[in-house]
Structure 1
Amino acid sequence: MINKISLLAFLSIGAIYYAQDASVIKNTAEVYSGSNFGGTAKFNSMAGSMGALGGDLSAITVNPAGTGVFITGDVSATLAVQGNKNNSNLFGNSFESSYNNTNLGQAGGVVSFETQNNSPWKFVNLAFNYSTKNIEDYVQTPGNSNIKDAVQYSDSNGNTVDDFLVYNGHAYDRTGTVSNLNVSLGGNYDNRIYLGAGLNFKSAELDQSDFFQLQLQNLGEYAYYNKQYTPYREASNGFSASVGVIGKLNNNIRLGAAIESPTFWNLTRTYVEYGFNTNNSVVSEVFDETRKLTTPMKLTLSGALVASKNFAVNVDYTLGLTKPKYKVQGPAEDQLNDYFSSDYKNISDLRIGAEYRLGGFRLRGGYGIEGNPFDTGSLQSFNSAGTSGSNSYNSLFIGKRQTLAGGLGYDFKSFYVDAGVQSITATYDNPFFGGDYAVTIDNGFSVTDGDGINNSTSIVSEVKNTRTNFFVTVGWKF
């Protein structure tokens, strides 16, 4: 089960495990390839489905043609309270963790210019919108006494003692935020066709750690092992462009389409690398590296039914047209690209949102479902008896996510206030333990397997993730 690392010494020989690191794969898909960066309470309470309706500062990130729908200036800001709960179950035992964060979820504005001289171009509008969300994710998994390996060590009298090294728990911790600044230009042609183009300036900052605990079964002493290249800090910037159109077929039916280019990311990481010194003891050193990543181009198709001035319903469907791809700098990027090429499915996201108006009151609701690009896969992993083998999994790394949303608002003519709530749930298979690890906190025991280990077999828990988000937006029309 556990083999001593034969060579590390800061030579990056752990690249093969780094390339297959579940957290790198997860972050590529969830943090960098995701399209949800937060937004207004109205946008979130309709599950982000406003592609053919427009007229909202966050909706322009889905379809920049929504910029052309505005007929007045508009500024708004949103307070976001984001809650995250994880329940990690391993062979019938589980740990649950939860936390909340409050931040500025959105701020933006649009300036609307009404044209003159009976031009068919009724309005030309310029908008900007900044949105952000927290990506904190803490998953703690319990131990299992069946996952163990026979070891030997010397007691105080120099006698050889037989014992077992037992897996005693794992923790994955990610903190940070992702944000998007969108600048868009839109126009209204004859109140029938709306066109728009936008630029997206994205950023991400995260800190991440990954460690497990091993315990000597008879002696009771334990040690913590950090995964190779962790903990680390990553700061990234990305850029994409988008264009879109919304057309009125008649007073009741609107259709929309938008395409966003791939996002071109520059990633800078500061990480810890472990190795052995001449005395065969684990030592560590901090390094920096940069990477370039291209995440998928996306197409969004939208349709809206405006049944009356009081009721409207919108449907958005987003499809990823390409796959994530790293610029090759060595074996790690090669293996990541091979994995995404063979095992990553193009993302798809379906959202439905509706709004009902009664005087100044607004009642909203929405539902969304986002597929998992890693539906199935096989891993060398342990079963409940501690036996290793090749096992198949149906929902790796992220899971299919479902969103239920709702909200209320009131329009005071010049001012408006909106509130919204979202519940986002997903269940996924969470692999860890496989790869290179090094001891970081030693409680005194010495074993023949040493202080650096390589695990060829993963442990996989089932994680149920529930995110509950609240949003309050205050806006002014001018």
Structure 2
Amino acid sequence: MSISAAFFAQAQDVSVIRNTVEAYSSTPMIGTAKFNAMAGSNGALGGDANSLLTNPAGLGVAISGEVSGTLSISGNKNSSSMAGSTLNYSKTRGDLGNAGGIIAFPLMSETGWKFINIGINFSNQSLDNVIQSPGNSNIIYDFDIADPTKGASMAGHSYERYGNLSKMSFGVGANYNHNLYIGAGLNFFNATIDQYDTLGYRNLMNNSVELFSKQDTPYSERSSGFSASVGVIGKLSPNFRLGASLETPTFWSIDRNYNFYNDPNYGDDIGAENRKFTSPLKATVSAAFVASKNFSLNVDYTLGLTKPDYKVYGSAERELNDFFKDNYKNLSEVRVGAEYRVKQFRLRGGYAYQSSPFDALTISRFNDAGVAGDQSYSNLMLSDRNTASLGIGYDFKSFYVDASYQNITSKYSNPFMRGYMGDNFDTSYYSAKNIAQSDSYAVSDVKSTRNNFFLTVGWKF
């Protein structure tokens, strides 16, 4: 299926689509070092506040209180290649990744209800992502056909995103006869995004580089949203458990400030707008095997049941919705995690796979020789993602310390540079002196690698 020219002409930028999926349609999954070491797989195990990230029924599994805090150190590296050249960008950042607690209330009654537990969990992750693509001297742009001294080659491009995504959850879980657990939670989201889209052209005569910003960029978004979740866990036997949970769409309110250029009335200035966005409804099914107190294994499968949807205020939101309706695949993820205990020591490992969010897409792009033509991509803008993790821990009875490591990789094709003026829209690139337009994209190949480290300190009471 091809991307219509009208869509990308009026949808502002590729970054809008990427952020819709990565920032506003995903759920923060940064938990404790234990949770992260098991690749976020705990939907049928539960027992701590991180249950609010997967299945709130897991709150009911706890039989004692607990609080913990987690330091996260995130390392992000992008390698972007095109026309035989590669640019690398890397950044390491430390932050509070997770904090949470659970209070267990034993019920002194003769009914089968054993505990009512209350949990709170805060999850926080960086949205920083910089993709710096090299230039291609074969892609030539004539700013003035009559003046050859103003010809320039494409010198490079950068998508820069800086920000955070956080999720604060409150929930309650109940334990019926140590065989059935139910729970519910409320989730409150906050996101900050500062996005840049910068294109460079190198003058063919003097090699000077001129930088251009895409129309309506840079932009800043400050957003908030909320969702609710419900879940259940049941024991089929002392060793086997099944779980299921449902999280409503996240209902976002997005406030944006953006730079615009060459407006017939205002010239170059700053605009503001508000958007309403609804993320996909998500369902998770889980299974766990608890061989003994020394070994446990959990598998989670999460599926998006609906598609991203913007409230329509005009043509831009309408065409965004049309794009997601035609090209978005319901996102799915499988997570597997295990824990083995040797006295007070804990050994953990996990793996997760998330599918690509888009069908194959066909666009007009420049090849390495600078010739424009149609090309189909199975991984345009985003692709599938693999996560491998491991961790260790030590239990001091009342206190515990856990550490873990995650490696997250993905490869995708990164389109940029396309933009032009139409009858009712303008997506060109602007510098202080010139305007750059293109009917076709340049495309770089990106390998993304994230190396994350986590350290958790907790107290049981």
TM-score (norm. length: structure 1): 0.91
State how 1:21-420 maps to structure 2 within 5 Å. 21-152=13-144, 160-161=147-148, 164-275=151-262, 283-420=267-404
- Larger displacement relative to structure 2 (68-77 or 433-442): 433-442
Match of 1:440 in 2: 431
Q: Bigger shift: 342-351 or 370-379?
A: 370-379
Tell whether the 8 Å contact from 2:43 to 2:51 is kept in structure 1 after alignment. Answer: yes
CA distance in 2, matches of 1:323, 1:151: 41
Residue 456 (structure 1) aligns with = 439
Q: 1:58-116: per-residue Cα shift (whole Å, max 9, x none)?
A: 23220000110110111110000001000001122110010011000011111110000
In the alignment, the residues of structure 1 paired with residue 148 and residue 282 of structure 2 have an alpha-carbon distance, to the nearest angstrom, of 60
Query: In structure 2, what is the equivalent of residue 448 of structure 1?
Result: none
The alpha carbon displacement at 1:288 in A equals 0.8
CA distance in 2, matches of 1:217, 1:341: 43
Q: 1:277 to 1:243 in 2, by over 3 A?
A: closer
Pairwise CA distance, 1:162 = 5.7
SS at structure 2 position matched to 1:27: helix
**CA, structure 1 residues 399+77, in 2 after alignment: closer, same or farther (shift >3 Å)?**
same
The offset of 1:118, in angstroms, is: 2.7
CA contact under 8 A between 1:296 and 1:321: conserved in structure 2?
yes
Bigger shift: residues 422-431 or 214-223: 214-223
Shift in Å, 1:153? 7.0
Q: Deviation at 1:150? A: 3.8
Tell me if the contact between 2:215 and 2:428 (Cα under 8 Å) persists in the aligned partners: yes
Distance change >3 Å, CA 471–CA 147, structure 1 → 2? same
Q: Secondary structure at 1:191's aligned position in 2? A: coil
Q: How far apart in 2 are the matches of 1:298 and 1:315?
A: 16
Q: Deviations over 1:131-188 (max 9, x none)?
A: 100010011111001111345478xxxxx54663211110111000000001000000
Q: Secondary structure at the match of 2:313?
A: coil
How many residue pairs get aligned? The number is 449
Closer, same or farther in 2 for the Cα pair 1:434/1:109, shift >3 Å? same
- Residues 306, 313 of structure 1: 8 Å contact kept: yes
Cα separation, partners in 2 of 1:217 and 1:344, compared to 1, 3 Å? same
Q: Look up the match of 1:445.
A: none
Larger Rg: 1
* 1:113 aligned partner, one-letter code: F
Displacement of 1:373 in angstroms is 1.0
Distance, in Å, in 2 between the alignment partners of 1:387 and 1:20 is 25
Q: Which amino acid aligns with 1:171?
A: S
Q: Answer whether contact 2:11 2:316 (CA < 8 A) is retained.
A: yes
Return the match for 1:467 from 446, 450, 454. 450
Shift of 1:38: 1.2
How far apart are 1:18 and its partner, in Å?
A: 4.3
Residue 220 of structure 1: how far off its partner (Å): 2.5
5+ unaligned residues in a row in structure 2: which ranges? 1-5, 420-426
1:228–1:274 CA contact under 8 A, matched in 2: yes
| Match of residue 157 from structure 1 | none
CA distance in 1 between counterparts of 2:457 and 2:381 reads 36
CA displacement, residues 204-253 of structure 1 (integer Å, 9 cap, x when unaligned): 00111011111221233331110111111101111100100000000110
Distance in structure 2 (CA, Å) of the matches to 1:153 and 1:348: 50
C-alpha distance after superposition, 1:13-64 (max 9, x if no partner): x985341621100000111111234111110000000000001222322000
> Could you tell me which amino acid in structure 2 is paired with residue 376 of structure 1?
A
1:72 partner SS = coil
In the alignment, the residues of structure 2 paired with residue 151 and residue 307 of structure 1 have an alpha-carbon distance, to the nearest angstrom, of 70
What TM-score does the superposition give when structure 2 sets the normalisation length?
Answer: 0.94
Contact kept, 8 Å, 1:37 with 1:179, in 2: the verdict is no
Deviations 1:236-276 (A, max 9, x none): 11110010000000011000000001110000001001115
- 2:149 touches 2:205 (CA, 8 Å); kept in 1? no
Distance in 2 separating the partners of 1:233 and 1:37: 24
Q: Which residue of 1 aligns with 2:422?
A: none
AA in 1 matched with 2:439: S
Deviation at 1:437, TM superposition (A): 3.1
Q: Secondary structure at the match of 2:105?
A: strand
SS at match of 1:145: strand
C-alpha RMSD over aligned residues = 1.6
Aligned-partner residue type, residue 172 of structure 1: Y
